Structure 1
Amino acid sequence: MRFLAARPLAAVASLAALLSPVLAEPILKSNSLNTCQENSGFTASLFNVIYTPNNNTANVDIVAVSSIQGSVFFDVAISAYGFEFIRQQVDPCKIGLAGLCPMTAGKIPLNFNLPVDKDAAKQIPGIAYTFPDLDAKVRVFINMTDGTRQSVACVEADISNGKTVDLVGVKWATALIAGLALASSAVVSGLGHANAASHVAANALSLFGYFQAQAMLGLTGVPLPPIVMSWTQDFQWSMGVIRVGFMQDIFTWYQRATGGTPSTIFDSLTTVSVQVEKRALTMAKRSLAMMPRSIVDPVSAMVKREVLKRANIETSSGSFVVYGIQRVAFRAFIETTNLFMTGLVFFCILVVFTTLCVAAFKGFCELAVKKGWIKGDTFLEFRNGWFTVLKGILFRVTLIGFPQITILCLWEFTQNDSAAEIVLAVFFFFGMCLTLGWASFKVIRIARRSVIMHRNPAYILFSDPQALNKWGFLYVQFRASAYYFIVPLLAYTIVKGMLVAFAQSKGTVQAVGFILIEAGALIGASVLRPWMDKSTNSFNIAICVMNFLNSIFLLVFTEVFNQPPLVTGIVGVVLWIANATFSLVLLIMLIVTTVIVFVRENPDGRYQFMMDDRTSFMKSQTHLTTTTELDALAATARGDKAGYSKHNLDLDDDAESISSESLRRHADRSGMPVSAANSVRNVPYGNPPRSPIDPSMPLFPADGRDGRNSPSPYGRNASPSPYGGGGSGSNLMPGFRAQNNASPAGGLRSASPSPWQRGAGYEH
């Protein structure tokens, strides 16, 4: 206790053992001394204290400025998670502190080693050296000794022990698992197990979205407890916040070359302290941080150093405060003016890397087939239509990177780092919005066309391989009737990104906005249940619940309820424990699901068929035996006839349904060929287009039985064809039978490509 009474600054170091990464020996440290009252007469622009209990020595490096003159005494308070467990008054005159008895005005540089009393060291609990990101601080009030006993200064220091949950291993593990799951889904899909692949991909995308939601918590301007800051930092890789040394040098050069002024805060750490905000700042200071440099620079009396660069707040003591997006950049050792380019370049790297991987895999498959390493029909669909598949994969990458690009580009509009970076922000943000908006429009149009023609949106969405490969990333994770759900998801991303980017100086507004957004997402997911099946709905609704709880925790951190600091500290620990447990469960589920897909002989059998009958419409090597008879039956069900089997039909070119010619005839009845009209006598052209199938029944029996021996409506007594009764063979038109049944042996033989194989290059 004598040590605490004698040296308040050393007490800061002693208590700093409350959190830190695993080191060779336990330490307690503090890197900044913050003022805790207005017009504080004692400040420090540099404050570094490290206490090592092994030798009971604290190294102190301080540059302080005092405007106090007279006799004073210190009121020292030490707390952890808002709970004050030591309070002591100290008279500097009784312990002989030079320059402090009486205190004199002026600059006080101090750099010395301070021995720590063993009795004082014993009062520090052992957990202070081991518990990660412990929220502890030492606060010192400097009071006059006259009759008023007025407080003329207040300083406090946050303490750390070097243990943290911000670990490189966690970042790599989460990134690799999510990435490998997405890659595995693509491989499984290429092997023909579309049902299993869609489940793995849907869960992987949802998990990736949850990681991005965690990262967004850290990007808000809300003051966060240390453990929450560290936890959310683990997921900033999902927003492209990854530091590579030589790339940072390139970004700095690029900004200078395009007329910008890079910040140099990391070059000033030896002379200036940087405070990572954990408590609320005044609105004026926060607003100042968000101003463009052209507005901030004239305020030279308050902003003394170019290092501020409008992204960091300089306090009256000369130290700097970072919060929100700036806080994330500082903790990642990235200059705030380089953050936008960092995220943008890593997104571009992901796009290029994905393209090269797909092209390389295509080349490997062709070589493997040529050398006989794999069978000729392995990855056949991918090899035939790999370019269309590549388009779909790039669209999916765009969807994954959309939250990242939205936040960084919108934030760049407020920062104006350089004219060239503003142009890049405009190009990427509006380009991605238009790209995803156009893709969503195409999906909605295709689905509505399918509903008009076949009374089932799944019919064309899943029977057309080209539409499925290119646009399937937007709807394959949803049930067919919820094809539109991608639109509210994109709107959710944009609104959330705008809230993060534009309200950095208004933490309470961000917290309330997050609650409203996440509540809407939770209600929508719970009521609509748009995902493909019960398990996927449960997976995503659980994520929505956790995101909603996190938004409530975020509101608590704003201290809008004026709760005791202990409550804020406890809520921070609860957030970490809850999200860490939840993330672990999701990761295990995804790992198990992915492994089972590769281990099982028929991974599609693990999942029930979708209620929207998508598997009946999809060309799958595992569910359909591609015989000519099935091709003929499929063509009949689709309404295709001889002379109308067209190659290179492309729904994306605004032509018509990929599955039939009927849309053209219904769209332009006046131009309908007479021969075609007379060849089908029973087609009700005067009525709206009608699907030849019952949308509630699969196109083929799930057990693979022949239609003529089953009670299915597609058997002998209930032909799916609108052209007459009879079995699947008897109801085919003469022209169609002549084209498809011209076999010398009397069997069925297809003379034209199967209707299943149109699009995606299957006709080649």
Structure 2
Amino acid sequence: MPPGNLISHIEAPLLRTTTMWSSGISWGLPLVLLSALPARVLGGDILSTQGYSLCSSDPTIQVQALDIQYDRSTNQVVFNVAGSSSISQKVKAKILVTAYGRQVYEKSFNPCDSDTYVEQLCPVPAGSFAAQGNQSIPAEYASQIPSIAFNVPDLDGVAKLELFADDDDTKDLACVQSTVSNGKSMNVQAVTYVAAGMAGAALGISALGAVVGGFHVGGASPSPTFGETFGWFQGIATNGMLSVTYPTIYSSFAKNFGFSTGLIPWGRMQQTIDSFRSMTGGDLTTDSYAFLQNSTLVDASTGSNLTKRGLDTMFLYARDFSASVNGTTAISQGSSDSGNSTTTESKPMHYVHGIQAYVEKLSIPQGNTFMTILLFFAIVIAVITVGILLTKVILEALALMGNLPKSMNSFRKRYWWRLAKTITNLVMLAYGVWTLYCVYQFTNGDSWAAKVLAGVTWAIFTLILGFFAFTIWHKAKKYQKMDGDASMLYEHKETWVRYAFLYENFKKGYWWLFIPTIVYAFAKNAMIAGANGHGLIQTIGQIAIECLLLILLVWSRPYTLKSGNVINITIQVVRVISVICVLVFVEELGISQTTKTVTGLVLIVVQSVLTGVLAILIAVNAIITCVRANPHRKRRKEAEKLKNRDLDDLTPLDARNSLLMDPTQLTEYKGAGSQVSEYKKAPLVSPSLTSTTTKSKIAYDPLSKRSESPYGYGGRPELSRDESQQNLVSGAASMGGRDRSNSPARQPRLPDVEFGQFDFRHQH
């Protein structure tokens, strides 16, 4: 019987079996979820193998190539298999197909029997040989292939072909297995771009809010902030790094957020890191960018099951055919014929798990992981430094021209501190994943130089955060001794400008909560990297850590804004749910692959919904920030109205009628230092009385000018301050003719000099 008839003979029961099996699964939820996927994920009519691997310890038949592809539009299977055999021998073949962890098809046949005759396998020739070609699939079998096989991304399944000696079923001559793909995946580049855009939008809104608000003291940024959004993406990414048997659909989804942990694929960078590692003790044999480009990655659990992508009825059918022909071909590959063919060479499978699986699916060798994030961090620091320097130059130019906005003058004067604070902010954001990759480098890295860099940089990051934490704690204790609480952390401008980025969103009574946040980031990521390869330990540790943080947030509700409490507690609840769901994927618990797949879909939906909600909230914050009135501009307008109002209704005894007071200064607002507005006392002599000229716009401090005489006495010579005060008193009208010489003598005292919004004792 020719190979085409053999395919039909084998596929009839296979299609019935797999169709019955797939119909037995509740596809309602997956179909609902699939309706929300991008169009790129849903289209396509091709099923093809994804590499191969040998599954026997000492085979006499070797496989060098295995490529099978089924095109639904043409109903044809195109195959290319090649191999070699040490001797000529008759064999028996056995085909096994599993889908979602279940064995859905098994078929044994003798290629020399009349009804299952395969010329290339009867007998298997000695030496190297190959087989290639295409076979048409009968319409009655093609119609039984469910469309979902071409639509569901990241299917879980594998097909295996075993060859035994004709006279001994226990003698394993060859074993080859391969996974199948429909080319659809939840790892969609557009998702990465959207997520990165969300993080960038959150950062931009935070910056815009600060500018619109005039960088006022004591203000909290609206949630979700850039740190909260980016931290959520990091949580999704690290959730996909545990050493458990993830359904491929979820592991592909988690890869979309790898950018948040610094894992950005860049071929030239990886080649440079490979060269660096090779010169510092690294082994590039199976751990290099070139190796990854020529292998097919397969997630492997602690057991022998493949958790790559799978297979359904047609998938199995294509697998079957490919497996049977592969057995023949691999055994009988003709070197010369095969060499002249246009078929492609199959890539060997590379089994990975845990952190290695996550990073290598992004085309980053595990040995390059730390160096990748180090270079990426260095690039970001360089961009930030250049950006701030350019801003500084622009502000200086505006200051020289006299066009510098008053709100930006503080940034111009504190350039170096702004740069240091920005870098520290970045260190705070990256500290968790930096700990993860440093610990992973210590335990799995091969380059001594990379290990040294990991240790030094992690120590520097820890010292930086420790310095800021200690400084803030020390100031808080000092303020508590003076005032009874640490409110001055929020009200003292200099302290706020320097250190508020660590606690600005927390209530005054919970300023210290940034310290547990740092400890949480360290513990979570150190647990993932330290227990790599032990999925159960990782998962239990993650559940404990996430639950502790959730309890702390629910108990304290530490955020200044109510929205901050709601959003952050919601994010933490979803994190707890996520790690509990990961428990289903732990190999030791023996949960079925079908349950794992459904759980993976649920995880994708929950995390996607929360991500969508965050995106909506970011958009709402953007609208509010752009349309709301600037509170400082509003106060300035009110002051102008007060200054220009008609004062004819004043009585002689009205306090506002005093020459020593300026009505516009009575309610001068000095910033949101606390929940209660603070006011500045009016100066002894109103500025409106001592100056009628236009104030210079130059931001640099000009030479002070002598005030012009008030109320139009232009011909009167200008006097010094002391002379002016003396004339003000001596030239005043008498009060009822009373003799002032009888006035009691007063003791001289120093004037009450104002130092701004805060008391001098707080100026440290």
> What is the TM-score when the length of structure 1 is the normalising length?
0.69
The number of equivalent residue pairs is: 599
The answer to whether the 8 Å contact 2:243/2:301 transfers is: no
Separation (CA, whole Å) in 2 of partners of 1:505 and 1:618: 57
What amino acid maps onto 1:229 in structure 2? S
1:230 matched to 2:258? The reply is no
What amino acid maps onto 2:574 in structure 1? M
Give the corresponding residue for 2:369: 339
The answer to whether the 8 Å contact 2:91/2:122 transfers is: yes
Please point out which of 262, 267, 272 is paired with 2:284.
262
Give the corresponding residue for 1:527: 555
Superposed displacement of residue 414, structure 1: 1.8
In structure 2, relative to structure 1, the CA distance for the partners of 1:269 and 1:179 (3 Å cut) is closer
Separation (CA, whole Å) in 1 of partners of 2:682 and 2:547: 48
Give the corresponding residue for 1:384: 413
DSSP 3-state at the match of 1:60:
strand
Give the corresponding residue for 1:541: 569
Give the corresponding residue for 1:455: 484
What amino acid maps onto 1:267 in structure 2? A
In structure 2, relative to structure 1, the CA distance for the partners of 1:486 and 1:152 (3 Å cut) is farther
- Alignment deviations for residues 423-444 of structure 1 (CA, whole Å, 9 cap, x no partner): 1101111111111122112222
1:58 matched to 2:77? The reply is yes
Separation (CA, whole Å) in 1 of partners of 2:579 and 2:86: 43
The answer to whether the 8 Å contact 2:185/2:249 transfers is: yes
Separation (CA, whole Å) in 2 of partners of 1:579 and 1:134: 20
Superposed displacement of residue 566, structure 1: 1.0
The answer to whether the 8 Å contact 1:462/1:617 transfers is: no
Please point out which of 458, 464, 467 is paired with 1:435.
464
The answer to whether the 8 Å contact 1:553/1:571 transfers is: yes
Separation (CA, whole Å) in 2 of partners of 1:571 and 1:398: 34
Q: Which runs of 5+ in 1 are unaligned?
A: 284-316, 606-615, 633-732, 741-749
- Alignment deviations for residues 234-292 of structure 1 (CA, whole Å, 9 cap, x no partner): 1100111112232223222222333433356553568x643321543479xxxxxxxxx
DSSP 3-state at the match of 1:31:
strand
Q: Which runs of 5+ in 2 are unaligned?
A: 20-33, 306-346, 634-667, 685-746
- Alignment deviations for residues 292-337 of structure 1 (CA, whole Å, 9 cap, x no partner): xxxxxxxxxxxxxxxxxxxxxxxxx974212222222322122333
Give the corresponding residue for 1:711: none
Separation (CA, whole Å) in 2 of partners of 1:196 and 1:446: 16
What amino acid maps onto 1:3 in structure 2? I
Separation (CA, whole Å) in 2 of partners of 1:150 and 1:631: 103
Superposed displacement of residue 345, structure 1: 0.8
Please point out which of 675, 678, 681 is paired with 1:629.
681
1:27 matched to 2:16? The reply is no
In structure 2, relative to structure 1, the CA distance for the partners of 1:23 and 1:51 (3 Å cut) is farther
In structure 2, relative to structure 1, the CA distance for the partners of 1:228 and 1:367 (3 Å cut) is same
Please point out which of 505, 523, 530 is paired with 2:533.
505
1:424 matched to 2:453? The reply is yes
In structure 2, relative to structure 1, the CA distance for the partners of 1:398 and 1:269 (3 Å cut) is closer
What amino acid maps onto 2:196 in structure 1? A
- Alignment deviations for residues 150-179 of structure 1 (CA, whole Å, 9 cap, x no partner): 988765433221222212221122112212
Please point out which of 416, 424, 428 is paired with 1:399.
428
In structure 2, relative to structure 1, the CA distance for the partners of 1:329 and 1:570 (3 Å cut) is same
Give the corresponding residue for 1:121: 142
Give the corresponding residue for 1:320: 350
- Alignment deviations for residues 539-565 of structure 1 (CA, whole Å, 9 cap, x no partner): 111111111111122221123322222
Separation (CA, whole Å) in 2 of partners of 1:498 and 1:72: 51
1:469 matched to 2:497? The reply is yes
Give the corresponding residue for 2:268: 246
Give the corresponding residue for 1:92: 111
Larger Rg: 2
DSSP 3-state at the match of 1:276:
strand
Q: How does 1:610-689 map to 2 (within 5 A)?
A: 619-620=671-672, 628-629=680-681
1:133 matched to 2:185? The reply is no
The answer to whether the 8 Å contact 2:246/2:596 transfers is: no
Please point out which of 68, 72, 81 is paired with 2:92.
72
Please point out which of 157, 168, 182 is paired with 2:178.
157
DSSP 3-state at the match of 1:515:
helix
The answer to whether the 8 Å contact 1:6/1:90 transfers is: no
1:3 matched to 2:7? The reply is yes
Superposed displacement of residue 576, structure 1: 1.1
Give the corresponding residue for 2:382: 352
Separation (CA, whole Å) in 2 of partners of 1:237 and 1:575: 20
Separation (CA, whole Å) in 2 of partners of 1:92 and 1:563: 38
DSSP 3-state at the match of 2:606:
helix
Superposed displacement of residue 396, structure 1: 0.8
Separation (CA, whole Å) in 2 of partners of 1:229 and 1:171: 14
The answer to whether the 8 Å contact 1:5/1:89 transfers is: no
What amino acid maps onto 1:26 in structure 2? D
Separation (CA, whole Å) in 1 of partners of 2:670 and 2:444: 48
1:574 matched to 2:609? The reply is no
What amino acid maps onto 2:469 in structure 1? S
The answer to whether the 8 Å contact 2:111/2:122 transfers is: yes
Give the corresponding residue for 2:438: 409
Separation (CA, whole Å) in 1 of partners of 2:381 and 2:256: 22
Higher RCO (CA-CA < 8 Å; seq separation 6+)? 2
RMSD of equivalent CA atoms: 4.2
Separation (CA, whole Å) in 2 of partners of 1:249 and 1:209: 29
Separation (CA, whole Å) in 1 of partners of 2:558 and 2:127: 67
Give the corresponding residue for 2:334: none
What amino acid maps onto 1:510 in structure 2? Q
The answer to whether the 8 Å contact 1:177/1:591 transfers is: no
Please point out which of 243, 247, 251 is paired with 1:221.
243
In structure 2, relative to structure 1, the CA distance for the partners of 1:265 and 1:117 (3 Å cut) is farther
What amino acid maps onto 2:147 in structure 1? G
The answer to whether the 8 Å contact 1:23/1:162 transfers is: no
Identity level (%): 26
Q: How does 1:175-190 map to 2 (within 5 A)?
A: 175-190=196-211
DSSP 3-state at the match of 1:261:
coil
Give the corresponding residue for 1:485: 513
- Alignment deviations for residues 57-78 of structure 1 (CA, whole Å, 9 cap, x no partner): 3343445577996542424435
